[in-house]
Structure formats: structure tokens, C-alpha cells
Amino acid sequence: MGGSTVCLDELVRGLDRSRFEPFVLFAYDLAARGALASARIPNATTAAIRGTPEPPPPEEREILVPGLRRTRFYRLLWSLKSYALIERSRAGWLAEWIAREGFALVHANNSITANLAAIVAAARAGVPVVSHQRGYFRPTAFQRFATRSVDRILCISHSVAGHYLAQGFPRDRIATVYDGVDVGSLRPRTKPARDRILIVWAGRLVSWKGASVLVEAAETILERRLDADFVIAGTGPELPGLRERIERSALLRDRVHLAGFRDDVRDLIAGCDVFVNSSIEPEPLGHSALEAMALGVPVVASACGGLPEVVEHGVSGLLFEPGNDEALAGALLKLIDDGDLRSRFGIESRRRAERIFSLANHVKTIETVYSAVIERARG
């Protein structure tokens, strides 16, 4: 499951059930549904509530958008067409369902652009809406107008909040609410004895996530010393190119390991010496970096997006210039050389996760938002 789905799963499990009764509506029949069902959290797909066949989940692929489609005018026309052909009808039957089920609030778990129909439907049903922004999307003027009824826009970092302010959304409706991690179950573990430093990267293998930057940095490091191993966990369209790049290099071939999909990725991170987030484009927050911090692992991360809010440079980890493999290699060499620094960063990472990014804090903040929005709607 991706970061937004993991956060949703943990939020609904953590809600005070004496005050809130969650129901989760999925666009597709995802694996997360089974996890929620085992926790006795009611859920359904949009196809199920309409009585239509279940569509297959979309394939994960990297979409390169031509320059013309990035223009403001083109995007405005596309959003109008999409609403007229798809979202208006969807909003209609969703509004009827929301009213029939008697919901007190709708929480759209992802971008305004992705959840436009649900937001419009809630407004039609007279139900308040909380919209969670987990990325840097650019709503068109029409989409901003259509979602003017949103009561609260929750942004997962100050970086994301600044983006939506710049997009023209009202300041008084925007709030930063950091994602949380379960610091109770994610605890530092004793590292196994080994001769080499283990450096781990985990995420979707798409170009903007920057796994290739770590591969280049690894070659620089291994040219100077051979006491480091690198593991890249994840799948995606970048995998074949990364495999070819690694196979071409005698230095990388035996020291950079492509682990593929791992359902034990937290165990992998817990056992490593350094965790890397090398995103080239701004990361909205960086959930994997939060998990590494909770596990007491020092993090080296790109200095862009929400990551500087996660990693306190020189205190709990190190930041480097995005896309600069030489800078990443320098940061990693500093930690490879200094075991005491790794230990100190790991301790501070754990403390920072407990203090700022705990799941309990996240859930409590969301519950406060829910209560305020529902109370205001009831007058």
C-alpha cells in the first residue's frame, strides 16, 4: 500500500470509536479493504454501492505529460470536460448515497482533483467536507470553484500548505497536519553484527523518486571503499533501467541489490544502518523516512518538499541537494566513517518521531478537526 493508504488505514483504526464511526469508500477493490475488514471497519467500493461490475485497479505506471497538457488553458478545458462527462454523474449518485446513509462528515483522503466528485456530492447532500492534500496538485479555476464548499484543507506538510496557498485557496481553511507513524510498534532494534554498513532505499521505482541518484552515489562510494552494501526495495518502471545500470558496473554488481517488492520492508529498514530518501522532485512529506526515524535509523534525504520538516539536518540526519549524487555520496561517507554519529542521529530520529510524528498525535489532531467541522455545520 502507498503512503496515503497506509495513513488512512492507521487513522480509521485509531479513531475514538465512542465518538466516530468510520466507513471507508474505495474507488477500486484494493488490498487495504481486507486489512480494514479484519479490523471490523465497514467499507465498500463505489461499484458495490451502485451494483455495477468491479473495475480493475489501474496499472502503476509513470505518466509523462506533454508540455501542451501542462498549460493552464488546456487543463481548464480538460477539467470542464471531465466534470461534464464523468464527475457530474458520479457526484449525483454519490450525493444520494451520502444523504441516504446519514453521514455527518466526508473526509476525502486525497487530492481535490482526484476527489472532486465526492466533494461536490457532499455539498449537494449538505454534509461538511475535510479534504486531505497529500501532494502538489494544481487544481484549475473550475476545480477551485467546484470545491469552494470544502470546510478544511488538511496538508501533510507546511511545504504542501504553501503550495495550496499559492494556488489561491483561503488561508483560514488550510491547516498542516503531519502524518503519523505508530511509534509503539515501530521501535529501534539491535543491529546484527556485520563487516559492512548497510544502506537502504525503499519506495516506488519511478524516476522522480531518485533511486538512480543513490546508484550513482553508490559507485562513487565504492570507488573509495568497499565496506558498504546497498539495498533498493520496490518495483516500478525504473526497475529494468536500474538493473541494467548495475549490471554494467563491476563495482555495483555485487554491492547494490535490487530487492523488488518486500512485504517486510519495515524489518529491512529496522536492520539497516542508514536510510536514504533521494527524491529528485519535492516529496510532500516522506512516510518511509518517518518510519525509519521511528525505528531509530538515521536518514539522509533530499533537501526539498516536506523532507526538511522531517529530517533535522545535523541533528537527526543529513540533507543534500536534490539530484546531486556527489552530495549524497559525501553525506553517506560521513555516516559510514562515524559510527558514533550514526548512533546519535538514530537516537535523535526516534525522539523526533515520538515528539512530532506519532500516530497518536496525528489521530488526536484529526479528531479535533472533525469535531470542529461537524459542530460548525450543525450551527
Encode pLDDT of 180-210 as tens digits. 999 999 999 998 889 999 999 999 999 999 9
Element (H, E) at 197: strand 197-202
Q: What is the mean pLDDT of the chain?
A: 93
Q: Give pLDDT tens digits for 241-275.
A: 999 999 999 999 999 999 999 989 999 999 999 99
For the chain, the structural domain boundaries read 3-57+72-180+359-378, 197-356
Nearest to 100, CA basis, from 112, 88, 92, 89: 92
**pLDDT recorded at residue 65:** 57
Distances (CA, A) of 48 to 25, 26, 27, 97, 242: 10, 10, 10, 12, 40
What pLDDT, on the 0 to 100 scale, is given for residue 155? Answer: 97
Same fold, 3-57+72-180+359-378 and 197-356: yes
The structure's pTM equals 0.92
Task: Specify the CATH number of the domain 3-57+72-180+359-378.
Answer: 3.40.50.2000
CA distance 293 to 127: 38
CATH architecture observed for domain 197-356: 3-Layer(aba) Sandwich (3.40)
Q: What is the pLDDT of residue 63?
A: 58
- Compute the distance between CA of residue 362 and CA of residue 68 in angstroms, rounded to an integer: 39
Q: What is the pLDDT of residue 61?
A: 62
- The rounded distance, in Å, linking the Cα atoms of 284 and 314 is 21
Using 50 as the pLDDT threshold, list the residues of the chain that sit under it.
none
| C-alpha cell belonging to residue 38 | 479484519
pLDDT at 31: 80
- Specify the pLDDT at position 4: 80
Distance CA 162, CA 159 (A): 5
Other residues' Cβ atoms within 10 Å of the Cβ of residue 165: 14
